[in-house]
Structure 1
Amino acid sequence: MKKGKPEVITFKADPALVAAMEGIDNRSEFIRSAILSALDGVCPLCQGTGILTPEQKRHWAGFAQHHHVERCSTCDAPHLVCDAGRTREAADH
């Protein structure tokens, strides 16, 4: 991360967001923390855009040959599963 003088970043907020933030003592720190938290959960491939480039799609296609998405039986969250050591037929069941 580049060190140096902090930059000021501004954004527009609708009235509902402004009202929701009333009473927060340090809104700047709150917003910084919320952004850092959101960035921690960004997809490592698309980096939050929701779109893969043609190059990323090719890499994904190779990865997907040996991996699949399934839902966790405990929390129901979708997650990637490596098929190494499993036959694809067994992975589909």
Structure 2
Amino acid sequence: MARKPQKTSKSQIVAFKVEEELAEFLDNLPNKSDFIRKAILAQFGMTCPLCVGTGVVARGVHDHFKPVIEHQNQKPCEKCKTPVSFPMNADGLSGGEKKRIEQFLHGGPLYCLKCYPTIPPCDDCGWHVPMEKVAEHFKRQHTHA
């Protein structure tokens, strides 16, 4: 008997206002939450390359990439180029360590424990960004069209 894929747990509810026509359209969808989730990920261009936005991967893909991901969890520090190991999520981390890893997991630069506190944080978002990359950071992270 085939196993059902495990669903990922969702821990937050997000609400927003829309026009009446859009609300009617969404209410007629078979899975409104799934549609909205996929639309948001598509807007950010962050659809998972393994699950392609479904949240589930085929067993063969899982079995192939699990050891690859476990062994390729290092990236050079943006400042000193020392190899830095990173977890797949920030669960269990606290304080500065959590902020350092979350910065990377959300698309920001990854720094080693030694370099991270030496780089000033952005006044708007708190990400640690070297002075020579502040303009680029603002264009990427703080430009709202």
TM-score (norm 1): 0.39
TM-score (norm 2): 0.26
Q: Which has the higher strand share?
A: 1
